[in-house]
Amino acid sequence: MRILLIGAGAVTSRLNVLLAEHGHAIEAQMATFTPQHLELFDFHALVVVSPESTVGQAALTKAAEAGKLIYVVAGAADGLAAWANGVGVPAVAYPPSDVDLDNLLQQIRRGEAGNLAADDQYRRAVLGSDIAARLQSGMSVRKIAVTSPKGGTGKTTVAVNLAVAFALCGITTCLVDSDANAGALQYHLRLDRVNTTMIALLRRELAQNKSDTMAAVAAGANFMNAFTPVEGLPTLRVLPGLVTDDLGDEALQNEERVTEILGGLYESGMSSGGVVIMDVGINPAHVVHRAALRLAEGIAIVIKPEIPDLAETRRWLARMIGSLSASVGKAAAYEFIGSRVKLCYNQVVGDGFKAAHRMLQDALREDKIELALIPNGVLPMVEPRLAAQAVNSERREDVIVWRYKKEKLEELAPFTESIVGFASHFVPAVHESADRVGLIKKTQKTKRGLFGR
Ligand SMILES: Nc1ncnc2c1ncn2[C@@H]1O[C@H](COP(=O)(O)OP(=O)(O)O)[C@@H](O)[C@H]1O
Ligand SMILES: [Mg+2]
């Protein structure tokens, strides 16, 4: 493991030798650590010898935010030891005994093997352990499909930004490309090396073809390895790409197996305590799309407030209700659609979406479809240059909400706040952590008056 060693005393020097002896590469040893060092050095883990260094909690929080693993050597009365315990960072006593040193080496090995939860460290370090716990318990809709009845409305943009927003807010998020027409996630997140892709996973699983209960139970853990971690955001994992020219692809013919595999992907995200977001194509007749939609607890429909999109949405809803009614009955069909569908207007300019939404409601009423749909998301048009950079620049941090968190560009605030608003329709607790990490403007505490906290 590449380690940045912080400290300038006898214990640190001994550690330097010991870590090297155990095959670790010491990137540098120095007495202080600041967030600037995150850019300057290439490392995976920070080992901090507290009494022999000057390191602030804020700097360590930044390191956790960037996905670095942290290990602390500190005395029991040391503030950093208390911080480490609260945040779930491995800590051993100072001065360390031989047992402590063994323990430290073992913890570093665990981190190297990926058994140490960088996402949990991020969550607790960035948000504080109290919010982190509430976030986990207050989850509601965790299997999310993002789709649209028409192409080019911004599905992928919404899926990616929703995922990054959830992840920045401390929620472990699995983002899956289930769009058979255009797999674009790897470009949005600038992934050059990926563990596997959706189509490769489907082919692999189909070749094994062991469709039994044990396989289904194992699927959650099995599929966790399919996701590629996103560097710099430890709470985000991605499974890209379904692009296949071969519509006769064998891996796509067995609907039962495809459904099981998508179920396994949803489950694997659930088992990590987080949310799963699937970017689903426009064609509900495609096996992968159909499975992703059928298994979703929340279906985000992304449309532009324009007549062609409204017309397609009307048709899409009528088709969904129609085909569901045939199998589960009319009442259950309404219940399914009404409780799952969340409308998201995208590329909105001004408040034109209100008239558009009224048109959609009128059209549905004309079709005798009584659905109380509300605009759950209203995402403004982003300045074209910034929207282009979000996919074209070399930095993955230019994804709109991520860039807003880093650079606080005023132009990106409306989109970011709206994405957080939309996200809170799935996980209400997201609002509080978005406030904490600076994705939305601080709530005005002074206005709460005498009875506020
Ligand atoms: N809110 C927005 N503001 C500006 N441009 C947007 C916005 N949403 C999407 N776009 C742009 O619209 C185009 C299509 O978006 P994309 O997410 O790829 O759609 P889809 O996945 O539905 O095909 C892209 O060029 C994207 O940058
Ligand atoms: Mg797309």
Q: Is the CB of 383 under 6 A from ligand 1?
A: no
Two domains, one topology: 2-116 and 136-303+382-451 = yes
Which residue's alpha carbon is nearest to atom 4 within ligand 1?
382
Handedness of CA 181, 186, 189, 190 (dihedral sign): negative
How far is 80 from 86, CA to CA, in rounded Å?
10
Which residue's alpha carbon is nearest to atom 19 within ligand 1?
154
Q: Is the CB of 347 under 6 A from ligand 1?
A: yes
Q: What is the pTM of this model?
A: 0.88
Q: Which ligand is nearest to the CA of 412?
A: 1
Which residue's alpha carbon is nearest to atom 8 within ligand 1?
154
Q: Which atom from ligand 1 is nearest to the alpha carbon of 153?
A: 22
Q: Is the CB of 381 under 6 A from ligand 1?
A: yes
Q: Is the CB of 385 under 6 A from ligand 1?
A: no
Question: How many Å lie between the centroid of ligand 1 and the Cα of residue 158?
Answer: 8
Which residue's alpha carbon is nearest to atom 7 within ligand 1?
347
Q: Which atom from ligand 1 is nearest to the alpha carbon of 282?
A: 22
Alpha-carbon separation of residue 49 from 95, 97, 408 (angstroms): 9, 14, 34
Question: How many Å lie between the centroid of ligand 2 and the Cα of residue 247?
Answer: 18
Which residue's alpha carbon is nearest to atom 27 within ligand 1?
387
For domain 2-116, the CATH superfamily is: NAD(P)-binding Rossmann-like Domain (3.40.50.720)
Q: Is the CB of 157 under 6 A from ligand 1?
A: yes
Q: Is the CB of 382 under 6 A from ligand 1?
A: yes
Question: How many Å lie between the centroid of ligand 1 and the Cα of residue 436?
Answer: 28
Q: What are the domain boundaries of the chain? A: 2-116, 136-303+382-451
Pocket test for ligand 1, best of 148, 157, 160 (most atoms within 8 A of CB): 157
How far is 428 from 444, CA to CA, in rounded Å?
19
CATH label, 136-303+382-451, candidates 3.40.50, 3.30.160, 3.30.1580, 2.40.160: 3.40.50
HEC profile of the chain: CEEEEECCCHHHHHHHHHHHHCCCEEEEEECEECCHHHHHCCCCEEEEEHHHCEECHHHHHHHHHCCCEEEEECCCCCHHHHHHHHHCCCEECCCCCHHHHHHHHHHHHHHHCCCCCHHHHHHHHHHCHHHHHHHHHCCCCCEEEEECCCCCCCHHHHHHHHHHHHHHCCCCEEEEEECCCCCCHHHHCCCCCCCCCHHHHHHHHHHHCCCCHHHHHHHHHHHHCCCEECCCCCCEEEECCCCCCCCCCHHHCCHHHHHHHHHHHHHHHHHCCCEEEEEECCCCCCHHHHHHHHHCCEEEEEECCCHHHHHHHHHHHHHHHHHHHHHHCHHHHHHHHHHHEEEEEEEECCCHHHHHHHHHHHHHHHCCCCCCCCEEEEEECCCHHHHHHHHHCCCHHHCHHHHHHHHCCHHHHHHHHHHHHHHCCCCCCHHHHHHHHCCCCCCCHHHHHHHCC
Side chain identity, residue 103: N
Question: How many Å lie between the centroid of ligand 1 and the Cα of residue 154?
Answer: 4
Q: Are 173 and 430 in contact (CB under 8 A)?
A: no
Q: Is the CB of 281 under 6 A from ligand 1?
A: no
Q: Which atom from ligand 1 is nearest to the alpha carbon of 415?
A: 1
How far is 275 from 236, CA to CA, in rounded Å?
10
Give pLDDT tens digits along the chain (453 positions).
999 999 999 999 999 999 999 999 999 999 999 999 999 999 999 999 999 999 989 999 999 999 899 999 999 899 999 999 988 899 999 999 999 999 999 999 988 877 667 888 898 888 888 888 787 777 788 999 999 998 899 999 999 999 999 999 999 999 999 987 766 788 889 988 888 988 888 888 887 766 555 665 566 666 878 899 998 999 999 999 766 666 567 778 888 888 988 998 998 888 778 899 999 988 888 889 989 998 999 999 999 999 999 999 999 999 888 888 888 888 888 988 988 999 999 999 988 899 999 999 999 999 888 888 999 999 999 999 999 999 999 999 999 999 999 999 999 999 999 999 999 999 988 999 999 999 998 765 544 444 443
Q: Which ligand is nearest to the CA of 382?
A: 1
Q: Which ligand is nearest to the CA of 348?
A: 1
Would you tell me how many other CB atoms lie within 10 Å of the CB of residue 372?
7
What is the predicted pLDDT for the residue at 193?
Answer: 87
Q: Which atom from ligand 1 is nearest to the alpha carbon of 152?
A: 23
Pairing of strands 236-239, 228-229: antiparallel
